């Protein structure tokens, strides 16, 4: 099972509208991605909470359709 990077980006933006998302397909198999997500909504949240927000946005696809997502999150510069 695999996912398109556009689908990942769409799901994240649906749940986190202001998110700036950069996705890289690590192995070209649609199963191992890295994603860098920037959003003001992460402000004041711990790293774990930020990642949990992204996982919730992926609506259970993480760990099922999507085997690996190397995730990095942050708030916009000067936020």
Partner 1 sequence: MDENATFAQIRREIEDNPVVLFMKGTPVFPQCGFSAAVVHALSQLGVKFKGIDVLVDPSLRDGVKQFSQWPTVPQLYVKGEFVGGCDIVREMYESGELKTMLEEKGVEYAG
Nearest residue to 40 (alpha-carbon basis) of 1, 79, 71: 79
**CB nearer to partner 1: pick between 60 and 76:** 60
User: Residues 51 to 70: which contact partner 1 by CB under 8 A?
Assistant: 51-52, 55, 60, 62-63, 68, 70
Q: Which of helix, strand or coil describes residue 25?
A: strand
Q: Least Å distance between CB 54 and partner 1?
A: 10
Residues in contact with 16: Cβ distance below 8 Å, sequence separation at least 6, in sequence order:
37, 39, 41, 53, 54, 57
Binding interface with partner 1 (CB under 8 A): 47-48, 51-52, 55, 60, 62-63, 68, 70-72
């Amino acid at each position: 099972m695999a996912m398109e990077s556009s689908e990942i980006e769409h799901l994240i933006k649906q749940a986190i509208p202001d998110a700036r998302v950069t996705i890289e397909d690590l192995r070209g198999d649609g199963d191992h991605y890295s994603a860098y997500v920037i959003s003001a909504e992460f402000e004041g949240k711990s790293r774990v909470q930020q990642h949990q927000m992204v996982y919730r946005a992926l609506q259970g696809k993480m760990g099922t359709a999507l085997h690996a997502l190397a995730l990095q999150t942050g708030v916009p510069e000067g936020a």
